[in-house]
Amino acid sequence: MEIYRAAVPQPKLPASQTITDHHVKELRQKARKPSVLQDGLQCSFYYHQSHCHVPDLGRLTPEHHVIVPKVDGFPGIRQHDHFCVRCAGFLNIRKRGHYYFYTSSDDGSFLFLNGHRIVDNNGCHGNRERGSHRKWLEAGRHRLVADMCCPASACP
């Protein structure tokens, strides 16, 4: 398995700001080029979040982003408590088959695959692991998003 973050530049729009089929084709071509992918996950940090339960991070504005090779600690973090983090990228499945996914967190976390929540480890609790049901995945890229919050000094 490999994890990638897409870094596709937006096409220049005409004065009318209408996206045509040409613009869509241009984006698809750029997305297929290996040079527009970067190894790792883009992690977005949200500070002053004191929740055991993960809020809808898609509705919040992150303070900053970092690219990390894997989710292991919090490189680039600026505040060590009362924060949430969303790490997103693409999982490249080389061989189709059944897969299981897990999170381990001290307080709330979710794992999403292709827009569907597959692991729910939410709530106020000590460190615990939760897993997904068995998932059938075809070979290819799959969108992976991990959300997690740390309300107190429990997180490094």
Q: What is the pLDDT of residues 100-119, one digit of tens each?
A: 999 888 888 999 999 999 99
- What pLDDT score does 1 carry? 33
pLDDT category at 143 given cuts 50, 70, 90 is very high
Terminal CA-CA length for the chain: 27
How far apart (Å, rounded) are the C-alpha atoms in residues 29 and 48? 40
pLDDT category at 51 given cuts 50, 70, 90 is confident
Helical ranges in the chain per DSSP H: 21-32
User: For the chain, which residues make up each domain, given as ranges?
Assistant: 2-10+36-150
Give the residue among 58, 80, 53, 59 at the shortest CA–CA distance from 149: 53
| pTM summary value | 0.72
- Geometric angle at alpha carbon 54, from 149 and 46, rounded to 5°: 55
- Give domain 2-10+36-150's CATH superfamily: Galactose-binding domain-like (2.60.120.260)
Token representation of residue 133: 């049901």
* Tally of CB atoms within 10 A around 12: 7
The conformation of residue 81, written as its DSSP 8-state character, comes to S
pLDDT in tens, 70-104: 666 777 778 877 888 899 999 899 999 999 999 88
Residue 88's H or E segment, with its range, is: strand 83-93
Whether the per-residue pLDDT at 57 is higher than 70: the answer is yes
pLDDT in tens, 16-41: 445 566 655 665 555 544 444 567 88
